Amino acid sequence: MRRSFLLCLASTSVPLVLGAAVFNWPDPRLDTLDDQLYRPFFSAASRLALNCTARGGLTDTNATVAAQWLRLAYHDVATHNSTTGTGGLDASIAYEFNHLQNVGVGMLESLLDFATAPNEYVSMADVIAQGVIHAVIDCGGPIIPYRGGRVDATEAGPETVPEPQQDLASHIASFQAQGFNQTEMITLVACGHSLGESSGVRKVDFPLIVTENASTGIQNFASTLGFDNTVVTEYLDSTTDNVLVVGTNISTRSDLRIFSSDANVTMQRLASPDTFNEVCADLIGRMIDTVPSTVTLTDVIEPFDFKVWNTMLFPRGGSLAFLATLRIITAPGLSRTVTMFWTSRTGTFCPAGGCSAQAFEVTTSDSTLLGQLKGIPSFDLHSFNPSIDLATSISSFWFEVNNNDGSTPFIVDNNGANYIIEQDVLLFDPRRSNFSTGGTTMVVGVKDSSTNANVTALSTLTGSTTLPLPSRDTVVFEVDATNPPADGYTFYAATLSRKAISNSIHATINGTAYSLWVPFTSAAGA
């Protein structure tokens, strides 16, 4: 029999959006993705490209982070074969830097931007897709729906990225293989090159294309900074400096061949800014949702009205400490009161209506730009830290929310199922653990361990500076001599790599298997 207790994960309800993902606690994948999409602290993808920020440095003085992220994603997707169902957005790009089509430092720089975001449940491919979502809105473009669940590849894909010197028939065939028809090819290229002055062709990478001196080292696609249809309008009125349209090397005028391939019908349609944004949102969304046929993506992930966060249970001074925070979307003008209730695991310590505690702290947490564009100004965090009786323990919890505006208080209870704590036998102990830049010692408590317990952790590690994909490592816990047994628990410790992002702890105790997941954010914030 397997028993589990998941830390730091939960949600209850979502806005009424057609096709929106519904979370039932615990769900580590959806919960992590929600944090990364809507809370700035949890992912560099939500911060580094704000305001179409330039990469800077000696290598790319004019290219923006957003432009690099968008290029990275398409080059990753371009391995897709819609007939065989292989390839797509699967982070295989990390193994493809030696492909001639993927020349340039921006590919590796982008993956390094994302290096600490994946974990056991969220892939690098999922984070690359997030980068696209944020890149577009950070440069003033439309909101693109986000789905998760991508799976990282373990090897390179085929060399199928279209190249500027190829003829039109080759380009049409390449995009057709990826699942896009000729009209969609024209549109997707225009959308991809829409970042204009913030993106373009680097002379150092493509000396046969950028044959003239460029003061910044980059020949831009358009004259404006940001996501707009200037690349279209300047093409139509013949004022463009797009080197792939008017470059002196006629053989590499790939944008010209593509844009004009239907007598400019599609480009004329894209001259409308509203049409451009609408069509680009749809096609870029399809692009990042292009995955191998064996992968099933989630429904669209919208911000949750209510979400349990940073939940931990551990022995402390004669009782069990229980940490939990209820995250609520801020409603201007409301001053909510939140009460936590819980029931006992054994015995009758709690009354029929449950034991209860008030929040000891209420703070406000920022929303990402994506969240703000969806109408989420910020989140209110109602934090709890009740002491749980050791003998009776805890089996489930829920909340009562009072808006204090004359309306009837309501219950937040994991869609009617309550937040179930399945076990209290294997517990991560943040106070006995040590997390520092010098190393990480993780300590877990095993309840009533009369015999030796087998305790291990599967750690997810950040990748290297040359291959920034997450990897896995198994470590073994030993009885912790520095922390003697207390409160009915025996403590086990293990030294983890400084590169650990998250850890799944597993133990077999008297023939029963237990597990718990400890995200990096829990460990770091304990």
CATH of the domain at 501: 2.60.40.2440
Residue 318: pLDDT band (50, 70, 90) is: very high
Residues 84 and 205 in one domain: yes
Query: What pLDDT, on a 0 to 100 scale, did the predictor assign at position 170?
Result: 95
Residues forming beta bridges with residue 96, ordered by sequence position: none
Helix (H) or strand (E) holding 472: strand 471-476
Residue 31 has pLDDT above 50, yes or no: yes
* Lowest-pLDDT choice from 116-130, 189-203, 207-221, 511-525: 207-221
**pLDDT 10s digits, 193-233:** 888 544 555 545 544 454 565 544 556 778 888 899 999 99
Number of domains in the chain: 3
8-22 average pLDDT score: 50
Position 317 in a domain: yes
Residues 6+ apart with CB under 8 A from 189: 255, 258, 259
Instruction: Tell me how far apart the alpha carbons of residues 448 and 486 are, in angstroms, rounded to a whole number.
Output: 10
Query: In this structure, what token pair is assigned to residue 224?
Result: 């404006």
If you average pLDDT over each of 197-201, 248-252, 408-412, which comes out highest? 408-412
Instruction: Tell me how far apart the alpha carbons of residues 293 and 229 are, in angstroms, rounded to a whole number.
Output: 33
Whether 415 and 408 have beta carbons less than 8 Å apart is answered as no
Q: What percent of the chain has pLDDT over 90?
A: 68
Position 32 in a domain: no
Residue with the bigger pLDDT between 525 and 454: it is 454
Residues 311 and 434 in one domain: no
Query: What pLDDT, on a 0 to 100 scale, did the predictor assign at position 198?
Result: 47
Residue 13 has pLDDT above 80, yes or no: no
Q: Is 100 exposed, middle or buried (0-12, 13-18, 19+ CB in 10 A)?
A: exposed
Residue 242 has pLDDT above 60, yes or no: yes
Residue 439: pLDDT band (50, 70, 90) is: low
Which of 386, 420, 454 is a domain's end point? Answer: 420
Within 180-277, strands assigned E span: 200-202, 218-220
**pLDDT 10s digits, 465-483:** 999 999 999 999 999 999 9
Residue 69: pLDDT band (50, 70, 90) is: very high
Residue 346: pLDDT band (50, 70, 90) is: confident
Residue 11 has pLDDT above 50, yes or no: no
Residue entry with tokens 């489930």 = 396
Residues 129 and 243 in one domain: yes
Residue with the bigger pLDDT between 48 and 204: it is 48
Residues 104 and 236 in one domain: yes
Query: What pLDDT, on a 0 to 100 scale, did the predictor assign at position 196?
Result: 53
Collapsing DSSP to helix, strand or coil, 264 comes out as coil
- CATH number at 371 reads 2.60.40.10
Residues 231 and 121 in one domain: yes
Which of 225, 253, 288 is a domain's end point? Answer: 288
Q: Which domain holds residue 399?
A: 306-420
Quote the DSSP letter at residue 59: T
58-82 average pLDDT score: 85
Residues 147 and 263 in one domain: yes
Strands 410-412 and 419-420: unpaired
Instruction: Mark out the alpha helices in 240-303 (DSSP H runs).
Output: 243-246, 254-259, 265-269, 273-288
Residue 125 has pLDDT above 70, yes or no: yes
**pLDDT 10s digits, 272-310:** 999 999 999 999 999 999 999 999 999 999 999 999 988
- CATH number at 212 reads 1.10.520.10
**pLDDT 10s digits, 356-394:** 999 999 999 999 999 999 999 999 999 999 999 999 999
Position 158 in a domain: yes
Strands 378-384 and 396-402: unpaired
Query: What pLDDT, on a 0 to 100 scale, did the predictor assign at position 200?
Result: 52
| C-alpha of 301 from chain center | 11
Residues 254 and 388 in one domain: no
First-residue to last-residue Cα distance in the chain: 30
Residues 234 and 263 in one domain: yes
Residues 222 and 326 in one domain: no
Residue with the bigger pLDDT between 397 and 62: it is 397
Position 234 in a domain: yes
Position 36 in a domain: no
Query: What pLDDT, on a 0 to 100 scale, did the predictor assign at position 106?
Result: 84
Position 20 in a domain: no
Residues 76 and 148 in one domain: yes
The predicted model scores a pTM of 0.91
Position 231 in a domain: yes
Residues 176 and 314 in one domain: no
Quote the DSSP letter at residue 81: B
| Backbone φ and ψ of 52, nearest 5° | 55, 45
Residues 327 and 464 in one domain: no
Query: What pLDDT, on a 0 to 100 scale, did the predictor assign at position 218?
Result: 59
Position 30 in a domain: no
Residue 51 has pLDDT above 80, yes or no: yes
Mean of the per-residue pLDDT values of the chain? 87
27-42 average pLDDT score: 93
Which of 379, 397, 420 is a domain's end point? Answer: 420
Residue 355: pLDDT band (50, 70, 90) is: very high
